[in-house]
């Protein structure tokens, strides 16, 4: 049997036994099925061609260095290289999904790129494994690099991740920095490097603006096609894809819809409230925060979830039945397992606060309370917020969460920086907010409102990295807040 035939036989046994992983000179690739292969050319020095959706490799095989049922180790020659290399093909014991494959491949790609961009640094650690104990997600690759006695923490976002994952990346980068400092001594990890897909750094401009300027943070964008990273400064301009919603436009839209919606509101005025949809000629009716009817250009529709119907005389009884169900199932005494009770708890909390912001703090002025002042683009975090003012005329931002979420502080920071910019530019008055008030020049104060036991354990850590200009008050509510807002903690 010739060498080429032995190679074909060994590879055939390995590839028919299940998925494989290809390791070559420190790199690692898990071919996405189906994997195709071919051995061709000279019998004594054949060419091995492997190809799949995510790889295309051709090597001249010089020898089989080792072989078993689980692996085959080859001495190979790469075109253009004078010295032989090693290629190891290993049978995997399980089939990984495409997301797992791409993240692990990204880890190895990142290792190569960092070695080329920072040749004087050594990557001491690089992982995509989750660390739930320290709230570290497997969405991101994270590690430690060292140059002499100087160490830095880095976190990178793979290509193809969602916009939410990108907007959350700074939160998890700070948590990784904190974890690295705790494990190595606070002084030994001196900077944070955040690596984002090309063109995405601007999404974090406002969050970065709200950080303590003493924090040494570097932001890079990664071009996957060229396998290069370039430093950028998204704090220079921030994210311009948001703007103030003109107050007079919202009021005009509410006036147009009022007569068509008055009869519905009258069915439960204590629980139903109208809300203008930013950037749309639409008014929503919410029952304790849950949308159940909408008005658009004189047409009223009703429903929940994905099923909505136009309101006509013959089906008005269906709307009345829906409202009766909401009364029975979306109230503090209802079954907490029902969808109507559980849906959109932050909206429910916000609706209660809008009725009287003094339930959060007696220092707030209940005469001026606005929701959705910033019109966000699609895909951005759906942070629920209220903009109000203290009785001493200082701007105040209220952010709500009903469940533990480590991203709350930086979501609030993003909104705080946007409002602060509009405040300094005089946009709030120009767009119709706080008429007849002479607002303080001081930065807005931020209230983070959540059940006292539902603040994420990392909240204090993230807050410690924010600018001293961003004053934050944590307001903890009693766990049974649906029965009435009662503050049990204020920090």
Residue 117 belongs to domain with CATH number: 3.40.1350
**pLDDT tens-digit series, residues 189-227:** 999 999 999 999 999 999 999 999 999 999 999 988 788
Q: Give the lowest-confidence range in 135-149, 213-227, 255-269, 306-320.
A: 135-149
Q: Are 85 and 25 a contacting pair, CB within 8 Å? A: yes
* Higher-confidence position of 237 and 442: 442
For residues 485 and 355, membership in a common domain is answered with yes
**Mean predicted confidence (pLDDT) in 106-125:** 88
For residues 60 and 186, membership in a common domain is answered with no
The model's confidence at residue 365, banded by pLDDT at 50, 70 and 90, is very high
pLDDT of residue 378: 41
**Mean predicted confidence (pLDDT) in 442-450:** 97
For residues 166 and 67, membership in a common domain is answered with no
For residues 355 and 420, membership in a common domain is answered with yes
For residues 77 and 195, membership in a common domain is answered with no
For residues 466 and 395, membership in a common domain is answered with yes
Q: Which residue has the tokens 């990784």?
A: 176
**Mean predicted confidence (pLDDT) in 137-156:** 90
The model's confidence at residue 38, banded by pLDDT at 50, 70 and 90, is very high
**pLDDT tens-digit series, residues 60-88:** 999 998 888 888 889 898 877 767 888 88
Distance CA 463, CA 396 (A): 17
Select the highest-mean-pLDDT range: 31-45, 178-192, 201-215: 201-215
Of all residues in the chain, what percent carry a pLDDT higher than 90? 66
**Mean predicted confidence (pLDDT) in 344-372:** 95
CA distances from 170 to 15, 82, 409, 469 (A): 41, 44, 11, 19
Q: Structurally, how many domains does the chain consist of?
A: 4
Q: What mean pLDDT value characterizes the chain?
A: 89
Of the three residues 342, 366, 400, the one that is the final residue of a domain is 342
Asked if pLDDT for residue 346 goes beyond 70, the answer is yes
pLDDT of residue 306: 83
pLDDT of residue 94: 58
Q: Are 85 and 78 a contacting pair, CB within 8 Å? A: yes
Q: What is the dihedral angle through the alpha carbons of 95, 100, 103, 109, rounded to the nearest 10 degrees?
A: 0
pLDDT of residue 108: 81
Asked if pLDDT for residue 186 goes beyond 60, the answer is no
- Structural domain harbouring 227: 99-236
**Mean predicted confidence (pLDDT) in 375-397:** 77
For residues 120 and 89, membership in a common domain is answered with no
Quote the distance between the C-alpha of residue 299 and its chain's center: 35
pTM, entire model? 0.80
**pLDDT tens-digit series, residues 275-299:** 998 888 999 999 999 999 999 999 9
pLDDT of residue 53: 84
**Mean predicted confidence (pLDDT) in 320-344:** 96
Asked if pLDDT for residue 302 goes beyond 90, the answer is yes
Q: What is the dihedral angle through the alpha carbons of 267, 269, 272, 275, rounded to the nearest 10 degrees?
A: 120
Of the three residues 342, 366, 391, the one that is the final residue of a domain is 342
Asked if pLDDT for residue 382 goes beyond 50, the answer is no
- What does R_g of the chain's alpha carbons equal in angstroms? 29
The model's confidence at residue 441, banded by pLDDT at 50, 70 and 90, is very high
Q: What is the DSSP string of 287-349?
A: ETTEEEEEEETTEEEEEETTEEEE--GGGHHHHHHHHHHHHHHSSTTS-TTSHHHHS-HHHHH
For residues 366 and 456, membership in a common domain is answered with yes
Q: Give the lowest-confidence range in 6-10, 32-36, 411-415, 449-453.
A: 32-36
For residues 148 and 183, membership in a common domain is answered with yes
For residues 161 and 194, membership in a common domain is answered with yes
* Higher-confidence position of 106 and 325: 325
pLDDT of residue 242: 64
Distance CA 168, CA 184 (A): 25
Of the three residues 95, 130, 165, the one that is the final residue of a domain is 95
For residues 125 and 219, membership in a common domain is answered with yes
For residues 226 and 254, membership in a common domain is answered with no
pLDDT of residue 71: 85
Rounded to 5°, the CA angle 266-435-348 comes to: 40
Please give the structure tokens belonging to residue 262.
């008055």
């Amino acid at each position: 049997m010739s060498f080429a035939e032995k190679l074909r036989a060994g590879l055939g046994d390995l590839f028919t036994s299940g998925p494989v992983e290809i390791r070559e000179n420190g790199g690692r690739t898990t071919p996405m099925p189906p994997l195709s292969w071919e051995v061709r050319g000279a019998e004594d020095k054949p060419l091995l061609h492997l190809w799949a959706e995510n790889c295309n490799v051709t090597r001249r095989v010089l020898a089989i260095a080792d072989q078993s049922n689980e692996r085959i180790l080859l001495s190979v020659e790469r075109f253009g290289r004078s010295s032989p290399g090693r290629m190891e093909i290993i049978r995997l014991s399980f089939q990984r999904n495409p997301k797992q494959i791409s993240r692990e491949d990204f880890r190895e790609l990142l290792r190569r790129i960092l070695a080329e961009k920072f040749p004087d640094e050594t990557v001491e650690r690089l992982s995509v494994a989750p660390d739930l104990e320290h709230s570290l997600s497997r969405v991101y690759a994270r590690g430690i690099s060292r140059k002499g006695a100087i160490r830095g923490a880095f976190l990178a976002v793979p290509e193809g991740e969602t916009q939410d994952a990108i907007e959350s990346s700074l939160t998890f980068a700070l948590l990784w920095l904190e974890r690295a400092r705790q494990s190595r001594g606070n002084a030994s990890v001196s900077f944070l490097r955040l690596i984002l897909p090309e063109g995405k750094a601007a999404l974090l401009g406002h969050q970065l603006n709200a950080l303590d300027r003493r924090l040494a943070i570097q932001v890079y964008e990664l071009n996957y096609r060229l396998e290069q990273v370039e430093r950028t400064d998204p704090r220079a301009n921030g994210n311009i894809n948001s703007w103030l919603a003109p107050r007079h436009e919202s009021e005009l839209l509410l006036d147009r819809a009022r007569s068509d919606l008055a009869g519905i509101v009258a069915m439960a005025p204590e629980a139903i409230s109208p809300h203008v949809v930013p950037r749309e000629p639409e008014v929503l009716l919410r029952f304790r925060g849950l949308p159940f009817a909408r008005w658009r250009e004189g047409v009223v529709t009703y429903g929940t979830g994905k099923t909505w119907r136009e309101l006509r005389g013959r089906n008005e009884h269906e709307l009345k039945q829906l409202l009766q169900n909401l009364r029975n199932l979306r109230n503090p005494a209802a079954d907490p397992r029902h969808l109507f009770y559980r849906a959109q708890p932050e909206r429910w909390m916000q609706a209660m606060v809008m009725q009287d912001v003094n339930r959060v703090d007696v220092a707030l002025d209940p005469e001026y309370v606005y929701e959705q002042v910033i019109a966000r683009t699609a895909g951005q975090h759906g942070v629920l917020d209220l903009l109000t003012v203290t009785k001493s005329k200082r701007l105040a931002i209220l952010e709500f969460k009903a469940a533990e979420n480590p991203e709350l502080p930086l979501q609030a920071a993003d909104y705080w920086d946007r409002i602060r910019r509009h405040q300094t530019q005089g946009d709030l008055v120009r767009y119709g907010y706080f008429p007849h008030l002479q607002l303080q020049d001081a930065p807005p104060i931020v209230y983070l409102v959540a059940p006292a036991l539902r603040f994420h354990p990392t909240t204090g850590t993230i807050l410690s990295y924010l600018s001293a200009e961003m004053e934050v008050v944590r307001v903890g509510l009693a766990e049974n807040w649906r029965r009435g807002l009662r503050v049990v903690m204020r920090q």
